[in-house]
Homo-oligomer: A and B are copies of this chain.
Amino acid sequence: MVCSTKRPGHCDRSRLRHAAEWIVAASEFELIRRFFADATPNRADVVLGIGDDCALLQPAPEQTIAVSIDTLVAGRHFLPDVDPAALGHKALAVNLSDLAAMGATPAWLTLAITLPAADLDWLAAFMRGFAALAEQHRVQLVGGDTTGGPLSVTIQAHGLLPVGRGLRRSGASPGDRLFVSGTLGDAALALRHRRAGLEAGDLQARLDRPTPRVALGLLLRDIASAAIDVSDGLHADLGHLCAASGVAARVVLAQLPLSAAVREACKADNWQLPLAGGDDYELLFSVAPERIADLKKACQAINEPIREIGELRRGAGITLIYPDGSEGRETPQGYDHFKS
Protein backbone atom coordinates (compact mmCIF):
# COMPACT_ATOMS: atom_id res chain seq x y z
CA MET A 1 0.00 0.00 0.00
CA VAL A 2 1.46 3.34 -1.11
CA CYS A 3 0.44 6.22 1.13
CA SER A 4 0.20 9.83 0.12
CA THR A 5 0.77 12.45 2.80
CA LYS A 6 -1.86 14.52 1.06
CA ARG A 7 -4.84 12.32 1.79
CA PRO A 8 -3.86 10.15 4.72
CA GLY A 9 -7.51 9.35 5.46
CA HIS A 10 -7.36 6.75 2.69
CA CYS A 11 -4.64 4.85 4.41
CA ASP A 12 -6.47 3.56 7.44
CA ARG A 13 -4.34 0.61 8.47
CA SER A 14 -6.65 -0.12 11.39
CA ARG A 15 -9.23 -1.52 8.97
CA LEU A 16 -7.72 -4.94 9.03
CA ARG A 17 -9.42 -7.21 6.59
CA HIS A 18 -10.91 -10.54 7.48
CA ALA A 19 -8.57 -13.32 6.40
CA ALA A 20 -10.88 -14.59 3.70
CA GLU A 21 -11.41 -11.11 2.32
CA TRP A 22 -7.68 -10.84 2.19
CA ILE A 23 -7.57 -13.85 -0.04
CA VAL A 24 -10.05 -12.57 -2.54
CA ALA A 25 -8.79 -9.02 -2.72
CA ALA A 26 -5.33 -7.78 -1.91
CA SER A 27 -3.39 -10.99 -2.16
CA GLU A 28 -5.13 -12.81 -4.95
CA PHE A 29 -2.29 -11.96 -7.28
CA GLU A 30 0.26 -13.28 -4.81
CA LEU A 31 -1.76 -16.47 -4.33
CA ILE A 32 -1.99 -16.96 -8.06
CA ARG A 33 1.71 -16.51 -8.46
CA ARG A 34 2.62 -18.86 -5.66
CA PHE A 35 0.22 -21.72 -6.19
CA PHE A 36 -1.39 -21.69 -9.55
CA ALA A 37 0.57 -20.12 -12.38
CA ASP A 38 3.41 -22.62 -12.60
CA ALA A 39 1.80 -25.57 -10.85
CA THR A 40 1.19 -27.68 -13.94
CA PRO A 41 2.98 -28.56 -17.19
CA ASN A 42 3.20 -25.90 -19.91
CA ARG A 43 1.53 -26.96 -23.13
CA ALA A 44 2.24 -25.58 -26.59
CA ASP A 45 -1.49 -25.24 -27.32
CA VAL A 46 -1.98 -22.73 -24.49
CA VAL A 47 -1.55 -19.31 -26.10
CA LEU A 48 -2.14 -17.43 -22.83
CA GLY A 49 -2.47 -19.01 -19.40
CA ILE A 50 -3.30 -17.66 -15.95
CA GLY A 51 -3.27 -13.91 -15.31
CA ASP A 52 -5.46 -12.13 -17.85
CA ASP A 53 -9.25 -11.77 -18.16
CA CYS A 54 -9.35 -15.04 -20.11
CA ALA A 55 -7.02 -17.87 -21.04
CA LEU A 56 -6.46 -18.39 -24.78
CA LEU A 57 -6.44 -21.98 -26.04
CA GLN A 58 -5.50 -23.21 -29.50
CA PRO A 59 -6.80 -26.63 -30.49
CA ALA A 60 -5.16 -28.16 -33.54
CA PRO A 61 -7.21 -28.23 -36.75
CA GLU A 62 -9.65 -31.14 -36.87
CA GLN A 63 -9.89 -31.39 -33.09
CA THR A 64 -13.14 -31.43 -31.15
CA ILE A 65 -13.13 -30.18 -27.55
CA ALA A 66 -14.74 -32.22 -24.75
CA VAL A 67 -15.63 -30.28 -21.59
CA SER A 68 -16.93 -31.36 -18.19
CA ILE A 69 -17.48 -29.32 -15.02
CA ASP A 70 -17.92 -30.74 -11.50
CA THR A 71 -18.25 -29.27 -8.04
CA LEU A 72 -17.18 -30.96 -4.80
CA VAL A 73 -18.73 -29.43 -1.68
CA ALA A 74 -17.37 -29.88 1.87
CA GLY A 75 -19.71 -31.95 4.02
CA ARG A 76 -21.34 -33.50 0.98
CA HIS A 77 -18.65 -34.88 -1.31
CA PHE A 78 -15.83 -34.86 1.21
CA LEU A 79 -15.33 -34.46 4.93
CA PRO A 80 -14.33 -30.91 5.93
CA ASP A 81 -11.17 -32.26 7.60
CA VAL A 82 -10.10 -34.10 4.44
CA ASP A 83 -6.39 -34.31 3.66
CA PRO A 84 -6.11 -31.35 1.25
CA ALA A 85 -3.60 -33.16 -0.99
CA ALA A 86 -6.05 -36.03 -1.39
CA LEU A 87 -8.82 -33.55 -2.18
CA GLY A 88 -6.63 -31.87 -4.81
CA HIS A 89 -6.08 -35.26 -6.41
CA LYS A 90 -9.70 -36.36 -6.19
CA ALA A 91 -11.28 -33.12 -7.44
CA LEU A 92 -9.16 -33.41 -10.57
CA ALA A 93 -9.57 -37.20 -10.90
CA VAL A 94 -13.35 -36.87 -10.93
CA ASN A 95 -13.14 -34.54 -13.93
CA LEU A 96 -10.51 -36.54 -15.78
CA SER A 97 -12.79 -39.54 -15.34
CA ASP A 98 -15.48 -37.71 -17.34
CA LEU A 99 -12.96 -37.08 -20.13
CA ALA A 100 -11.97 -40.76 -20.00
CA ALA A 101 -15.61 -41.80 -20.37
CA MET A 102 -15.73 -39.70 -23.55
CA GLY A 103 -12.46 -41.10 -24.91
CA ALA A 104 -10.86 -37.63 -24.84
CA THR A 105 -7.21 -36.77 -24.23
CA PRO A 106 -6.95 -34.36 -21.27
CA ALA A 107 -5.55 -30.96 -22.18
CA TRP A 108 -6.58 -27.95 -20.07
CA LEU A 109 -8.08 -27.23 -16.65
CA THR A 110 -9.77 -24.36 -14.87
CA LEU A 111 -10.16 -24.32 -11.08
CA ALA A 112 -12.63 -22.24 -9.05
CA ILE A 113 -11.94 -22.71 -5.36
CA THR A 114 -13.89 -21.22 -2.45
CA LEU A 115 -12.05 -21.15 0.89
CA PRO A 116 -13.28 -20.16 4.34
CA ALA A 117 -9.90 -18.75 5.36
CA ALA A 118 -6.54 -17.78 3.95
CA ASP A 119 -4.86 -21.05 4.98
CA LEU A 120 -1.81 -21.09 2.74
CA ASP A 121 -0.58 -24.44 4.04
CA TRP A 122 -3.91 -26.03 3.16
CA LEU A 123 -3.86 -24.48 -0.30
CA ALA A 124 -0.27 -25.55 -0.94
CA ALA A 125 -1.13 -29.14 0.01
CA PHE A 126 -4.25 -29.08 -2.18
CA MET A 127 -2.18 -27.90 -5.12
CA ARG A 128 0.43 -30.61 -4.53
CA GLY A 129 -2.20 -33.31 -4.97
CA PHE A 130 -3.77 -31.49 -7.90
CA ALA A 131 -0.47 -30.82 -9.67
CA ALA A 132 0.88 -34.36 -9.30
CA LEU A 133 -2.12 -35.80 -11.12
CA ALA A 134 -2.06 -32.98 -13.70
CA GLU A 135 1.59 -33.76 -14.39
CA GLN A 136 0.77 -37.45 -14.96
CA HIS A 137 -1.69 -36.51 -17.67
CA ARG A 138 0.24 -33.52 -19.10
CA VAL A 139 -2.70 -31.23 -18.51
CA GLN A 140 -2.30 -27.49 -17.83
CA LEU A 141 -4.17 -25.27 -15.38
CA VAL A 142 -5.04 -22.25 -17.51
CA GLY A 143 -7.41 -20.19 -15.36
CA GLY A 144 -9.40 -19.98 -12.19
CA ASP A 145 -11.06 -18.00 -9.47
CA THR A 146 -10.27 -17.85 -5.74
CA THR A 147 -13.13 -16.78 -3.51
CA GLY A 148 -13.87 -16.61 0.21
CA GLY A 149 -16.81 -18.69 1.49
CA PRO A 150 -17.86 -22.23 2.43
CA LEU A 151 -15.25 -24.71 1.18
CA SER A 152 -15.92 -26.07 -2.30
CA VAL A 153 -13.96 -26.88 -5.42
CA THR A 154 -15.21 -26.61 -9.01
CA ILE A 155 -13.03 -27.88 -11.83
CA GLN A 156 -13.64 -27.82 -15.55
CA ALA A 157 -11.62 -30.29 -17.58
CA HIS A 158 -11.11 -29.82 -21.31
CA GLY A 159 -10.07 -32.72 -23.51
CA LEU A 160 -9.33 -33.19 -27.20
CA LEU A 161 -10.76 -35.65 -29.70
CA PRO A 162 -10.45 -36.15 -33.46
CA VAL A 163 -13.45 -34.57 -35.20
CA GLY A 164 -16.47 -36.86 -35.29
CA ARG A 165 -15.24 -39.11 -32.49
CA GLY A 166 -16.20 -39.43 -28.84
CA LEU A 167 -17.69 -42.19 -26.72
CA ARG A 168 -21.28 -41.36 -25.94
CA ARG A 169 -23.76 -42.94 -23.58
CA SER A 170 -26.20 -43.33 -26.43
CA GLY A 171 -24.37 -45.67 -28.81
CA ALA A 172 -25.18 -49.06 -27.28
CA SER A 173 -27.29 -51.68 -29.09
CA PRO A 174 -29.15 -54.80 -27.98
CA GLY A 175 -26.69 -57.70 -28.05
CA ASP A 176 -23.72 -55.60 -26.94
CA ARG A 177 -21.86 -56.93 -23.93
CA LEU A 178 -21.33 -54.88 -20.78
CA PHE A 179 -17.88 -54.38 -19.26
CA VAL A 180 -16.49 -52.50 -16.30
CA SER A 181 -12.92 -51.57 -15.36
CA GLY A 182 -11.18 -52.03 -11.98
CA THR A 183 -13.25 -53.07 -8.97
CA LEU A 184 -16.52 -51.67 -7.61
CA GLY A 185 -17.59 -50.63 -4.12
CA ASP A 186 -14.16 -50.06 -2.55
CA ALA A 187 -14.62 -46.33 -2.00
CA ALA A 188 -18.05 -46.82 -0.45
CA LEU A 189 -16.71 -49.51 1.89
CA ALA A 190 -13.83 -47.26 2.92
CA LEU A 191 -16.33 -44.55 3.77
CA ARG A 192 -18.47 -47.02 5.72
CA HIS A 193 -15.41 -48.09 7.73
CA ARG A 194 -14.45 -44.52 8.40
CA ARG A 195 -17.91 -43.62 9.65
CA ALA A 196 -17.77 -46.59 11.98
CA GLY A 197 -14.42 -45.40 13.31
CA LEU A 198 -12.56 -48.31 11.72
CA GLU A 199 -9.35 -48.21 9.71
CA ALA A 200 -10.09 -48.59 6.02
CA GLY A 201 -6.59 -49.87 5.17
CA ASP A 202 -5.88 -50.32 1.47
CA LEU A 203 -9.42 -49.25 0.61
CA GLN A 204 -8.77 -45.72 1.82
CA ALA A 205 -6.76 -44.88 -1.29
CA ARG A 206 -9.66 -45.98 -3.46
CA LEU A 207 -11.85 -43.40 -1.71
CA ASP A 208 -9.28 -40.61 -1.48
CA ARG A 209 -7.29 -41.03 -4.66
CA PRO A 210 -9.33 -42.62 -7.42
CA THR A 211 -7.57 -43.38 -10.69
CA PRO A 212 -9.18 -41.85 -13.78
CA ARG A 213 -9.11 -44.48 -16.53
CA VAL A 214 -7.80 -42.13 -19.20
CA ALA A 215 -5.71 -44.64 -21.19
CA LEU A 216 -8.60 -47.09 -21.21
CA GLY A 217 -10.95 -44.39 -22.49
CA LEU A 218 -8.64 -43.62 -25.41
CA LEU A 219 -8.48 -47.29 -26.32
CA LEU A 220 -12.27 -47.69 -26.05
CA ARG A 221 -12.83 -44.83 -28.49
CA ASP A 222 -12.10 -47.30 -31.28
CA ILE A 223 -13.85 -50.31 -29.78
CA ALA A 224 -16.76 -49.55 -27.44
CA SER A 225 -20.26 -48.64 -28.59
CA ALA A 226 -21.08 -46.56 -25.48
CA ALA A 227 -19.44 -45.59 -22.20
CA ILE A 228 -20.06 -43.75 -18.92
CA ASP A 229 -17.99 -43.37 -15.80
CA VAL A 230 -19.31 -44.92 -12.60
CA SER A 231 -19.66 -42.06 -10.13
CA ASP A 232 -23.16 -42.52 -8.69
CA GLY A 233 -22.90 -46.32 -8.50
CA LEU A 234 -23.09 -49.02 -11.16
CA HIS A 235 -26.87 -49.31 -11.08
CA ALA A 236 -27.59 -45.59 -11.47
CA ASP A 237 -24.96 -45.03 -14.16
CA LEU A 238 -25.95 -48.13 -16.10
CA GLY A 239 -29.48 -46.74 -15.95
CA HIS A 240 -28.26 -43.55 -17.62
CA LEU A 241 -26.47 -45.53 -20.35
CA CYS A 242 -29.54 -47.70 -20.97
CA ALA A 243 -31.89 -44.72 -21.08
CA ALA A 244 -29.62 -42.83 -23.50
CA SER A 245 -29.22 -45.88 -25.75
CA GLY A 246 -32.81 -47.08 -25.50
CA VAL A 247 -31.87 -50.56 -24.29
CA ALA A 248 -32.36 -52.87 -21.30
CA ALA A 249 -29.50 -54.44 -19.34
CA ARG A 250 -28.93 -57.74 -17.58
CA VAL A 251 -26.18 -57.73 -14.96
CA VAL A 252 -24.75 -60.97 -13.58
CA LEU A 253 -23.87 -60.10 -9.99
CA ALA A 254 -21.46 -63.01 -9.61
CA GLN A 255 -19.40 -61.47 -12.41
CA LEU A 256 -18.93 -58.08 -10.74
CA PRO A 257 -15.23 -57.33 -10.16
CA LEU A 258 -14.90 -56.99 -6.39
CA SER A 259 -12.09 -56.74 -3.89
CA ALA A 260 -12.10 -59.44 -1.20
CA ALA A 261 -13.38 -56.96 1.37
CA VAL A 262 -16.31 -55.82 -0.75
CA ARG A 263 -17.12 -59.42 -1.69
CA GLU A 264 -17.35 -60.23 2.00
CA ALA A 265 -19.55 -57.20 2.69
CA CYS A 266 -21.90 -58.17 -0.14
CA LYS A 267 -22.97 -61.26 1.77
CA ALA A 268 -24.58 -59.07 4.41
CA ASP A 269 -25.86 -56.08 2.50
CA ASN A 270 -27.22 -57.55 -0.68
CA TRP A 271 -24.75 -55.99 -3.21
CA GLN A 272 -25.35 -52.42 -2.05
CA LEU A 273 -21.67 -51.43 -2.17
CA PRO A 274 -20.89 -52.31 -5.80
CA LEU A 275 -24.34 -51.41 -7.11
CA ALA A 276 -25.02 -48.16 -5.31
CA GLY A 277 -21.95 -47.18 -3.30
CA GLY A 278 -20.66 -44.77 -5.90
CA ASP A 279 -17.39 -42.83 -6.06
CA ASP A 280 -15.83 -45.64 -8.11
CA TYR A 281 -14.68 -43.65 -11.16
CA GLU A 282 -14.39 -46.83 -13.18
CA LEU A 283 -15.56 -47.00 -16.80
CA LEU A 284 -18.72 -48.89 -17.67
CA PHE A 285 -18.98 -49.60 -21.38
CA SER A 286 -20.68 -51.69 -24.03
CA VAL A 287 -18.96 -53.62 -26.82
CA ALA A 288 -20.40 -55.42 -29.82
CA PRO A 289 -19.67 -59.18 -29.60
CA GLU A 290 -17.45 -59.12 -32.68
CA ARG A 291 -15.15 -56.53 -31.05
CA ILE A 292 -14.57 -58.38 -27.78
CA ALA A 293 -11.40 -60.10 -28.94
CA ASP A 294 -9.93 -56.73 -29.97
CA LEU A 295 -10.96 -55.27 -26.66
CA LYS A 296 -9.28 -57.94 -24.59
CA LYS A 297 -6.09 -57.79 -26.60
CA ALA A 298 -5.90 -53.99 -26.36
CA CYS A 299 -6.58 -53.98 -22.61
CA GLN A 300 -3.93 -56.61 -21.99
CA ALA A 301 -1.44 -54.51 -23.94
CA ILE A 302 -1.90 -51.58 -21.54
CA ASN A 303 -2.40 -53.80 -18.50
CA GLU A 304 -5.88 -52.45 -17.79
CA PRO A 305 -8.13 -55.05 -16.12
CA ILE A 306 -11.72 -55.19 -17.36
CA ARG A 307 -14.56 -57.60 -16.59
CA GLU A 308 -17.61 -58.64 -18.60
CA ILE A 309 -20.61 -58.24 -16.29
CA GLY A 310 -23.67 -58.65 -18.48
CA GLU A 311 -25.34 -57.76 -21.71
CA LEU A 312 -27.81 -55.38 -23.30
CA ARG A 313 -31.19 -56.35 -24.70
CA ARG A 314 -34.21 -54.75 -26.28
CA GLY A 315 -36.47 -52.96 -23.83
CA ALA A 316 -35.80 -50.81 -20.79
CA GLY A 317 -34.59 -51.15 -17.23
CA ILE A 318 -31.99 -53.24 -15.45
CA THR A 319 -32.36 -56.87 -14.45
CA LEU A 320 -30.02 -58.21 -11.78
CA ILE A 321 -29.12 -61.91 -11.95
CA TYR A 322 -28.36 -63.17 -8.45
CA PRO A 323 -25.92 -66.02 -7.83
CA ASP A 324 -28.81 -68.39 -7.04
CA GLY A 325 -30.21 -67.75 -10.51
CA SER A 326 -33.09 -65.55 -9.34
CA GLU A 327 -33.74 -62.26 -11.07
CA GLY A 328 -34.67 -58.87 -9.64
CA ARG A 329 -35.43 -55.45 -11.00
CA GLU A 330 -35.21 -53.46 -7.77
CA THR A 331 -33.39 -50.13 -7.52
CA PRO A 332 -30.71 -50.23 -4.83
CA GLN A 333 -30.70 -47.42 -2.30
CA GLY A 334 -27.67 -45.19 -2.63
CA TYR A 335 -25.71 -44.05 0.39
CA ASP A 336 -26.33 -40.51 1.54
CA HIS A 337 -22.68 -39.51 1.73
CA PHE A 338 -21.88 -37.40 4.77
CA LYS A 339 -25.50 -36.94 5.71
CA SER A 340 -26.91 -38.06 9.00
Contact = CB atoms under 8 A, between A and B. Distances in A.
B48 A57 contact: no
A110 interface: yes
A328 B6 CA distance: 7
Interface stretch (A99-107, A190-198, A298-306): A99-107
A10 interface: yes
B143 A67 contact: yes
Contact of A336 (B21, B66, B70, B228): B21
B64 A56 contact: yes
B331 A52 contact: no
A74 to B, nearest CB: 8
Contacts of A3: 330-331
A267 interface: no
Count of chain copies: 2
A56 B161 contact: yes
Given A55-B67, A333-B15, A73 B147 contact: yes
A6 B166 CA distance: 39
Given A21-B336, A317-B2, A54 B159 contact: yes
Nearest to A278: B25
Contacts of A108: 67
A146 to B, nearest CB: 9
Interface residues of A, number: 91
Given A69-B143, A149-B76, A336-B18, A101 B53 contact: yes
Interface string A1-31: 1111011011110010110010011000100
Interface stretch (A81-89, A150-158, A178-186, A199-207): A150-158
Interface of A: 1-4, 6-7, 9-12, 15, 17-18, 21, 24-25, 29, 47-48, 51-59, 61, 64-71, 73-77, 98-99, 101-102, 104, 108, 110-112, 114, 142-145, 147-150, 152, 154, 156, 158-159, 161, 163, 166, 168-170, 227-229, 232, 236, 240, 244, 270, 317, 326-334, 336, 339
